[in-house]
Amino acid sequence: MARSNKIFRYVFKRLLQGVPIILAIVVINFFLLNLAEGDAVDVLAGEAGSATPEYMAELRKKFGLDQPLPVQLMVYLKNVVMLDMGYSFRHDMPVNQLIFDRFGATALLMTSTIILAVGFGILLGLLAAMRLNTWKDAVITVFALITYATPLFWVGLMMIVVFSLNLGWFPTSGMENVAAFYEGWDRVVDIAHHLVLPTITLSLFYLALYTRMMRASMLEQYGQDYVVTARAKGLTERRITFVHVLRNALLPVVTMAGVQVGALIGGSVIVESVFAWPGLGMLAFESLFARDLNLLLGIFLLSSILVVAVNLIVDIIYCFLDPRIEVD
């Protein structure tokens, strides 16, 4: 009970520490995005073909872009505190609604990717370490090197060519077959069918990373004094591996999985573009060229909150994997 109370206080303390971090990220992103040339009004005028300076000035006044940057920042921060991320000029709707509509697709892709990459990465790394210097270790190492060095967009395109166009096993793009009007379990199966190729494509790079890290971590733990002591006591290699070594070897892998959440969002931009997956990555890609800064800032804000939250979860998992870690 005492340890549970400590963990609760630790979580509350970390949440309070995360607030200024997120605010700092919001301020930095705001100024970085505004350093670029042009704004949403320039994009709208360019798409219209022509626009008078008076009309453009009126649009800037309507959107609040005629104010100095510090004033715009204060207005934006006030809106963020009120959970209002502004209005998307490009899509003509609130940013909150846009992000809410697209977040489910990205969360589904990221969750399936993390489960696949971390799960199989741990298993392959464990197998390679247990079969060190055998053909299994060599095959896993070569596989990890190849998948780590292969660009995501190329993997995605090859997946489409082989499994969609040639074999016809999976759809080429989208999240579901809208024209089929599936409901209930049939819709779940349809979405899962569309999810297979994007998940495999996005997870291959991270699978290689976790495999190599797990293998190295296992080999490092095998050389520790407590393993030598366990062998001297007559414990079997299986018990040493799964009872003592595995838990300690998982710590760096869990850490890297938490850190990679932000990178996953970045990688999803490429994968979602290749497979036309209707998530936040595709939305961020479109809003960048449209100079829709409110939408970009909203996506970055959500991404930073996710990274802070996942790293907090990783710290809590640490406490259970290694009871020696004390929380205050």
* pLDDT classification of 322: cutoffs 50, 70, 90: low
Per-residue pLDDT at 238 exceeds 80: yes
- 95-321 folds as MetI-like fold (1.10.3720)
Per-residue pLDDT at 177 exceeds 60: yes
% of the chain with per-residue pLDDT over 90: 1
* pLDDT classification of 191: cutoffs 50, 70, 90: confident
Mean pLDDT of 229-245: 83
The secondary structure of 39-86 as a DSSP string is -HHHHHHHHHS---HHHHHHHHHHHTTTS-HHHHHHHHHHHHHTT---
Intra-chain end-to-end CA distance of the chain, in Å: 14
* pLDDT classification of 43: cutoffs 50, 70, 90: low
* pLDDT classification of 22: cutoffs 50, 70, 90: confident
The secondary structure of 255-321 as a DSSP string is HHHHHHHHHHHHHHHHHHHHHT--SHHHHHHHHHHHT-HHHHHHHHHHHHHHHHHHHHHHHHHHHHH
Cβ neighbours of 22 (radius 10 Å): 15
Q: Which residues contact 317 (CB under 8 A, 6 or more apart)?
A: 254
Cα(130)–Cα(246) distance, rounded to whole angstroms? Answer: 11
Predicted local confidence at residue 221, as pLDDT:
85
Q: If you average pLDDT over every residue of the chain, what do you get?
A: 79
Nearest Cα neighbor of 308 from 113, 6, 19, 99 is 19
* pLDDT classification of 36: cutoffs 50, 70, 90: low
Per-residue pLDDT at 1 exceeds 80: no
Mean pLDDT of 192-208: 87
Predicted local confidence at residue 223, as pLDDT:
82
Per-residue pLDDT at 66 exceeds 80: no
The residues spanned by each domain of the chain are 95-321
Cα(17)–Cα(116) distance, rounded to whole angstroms? Answer: 31
Strand segments (E) across 142-280: none
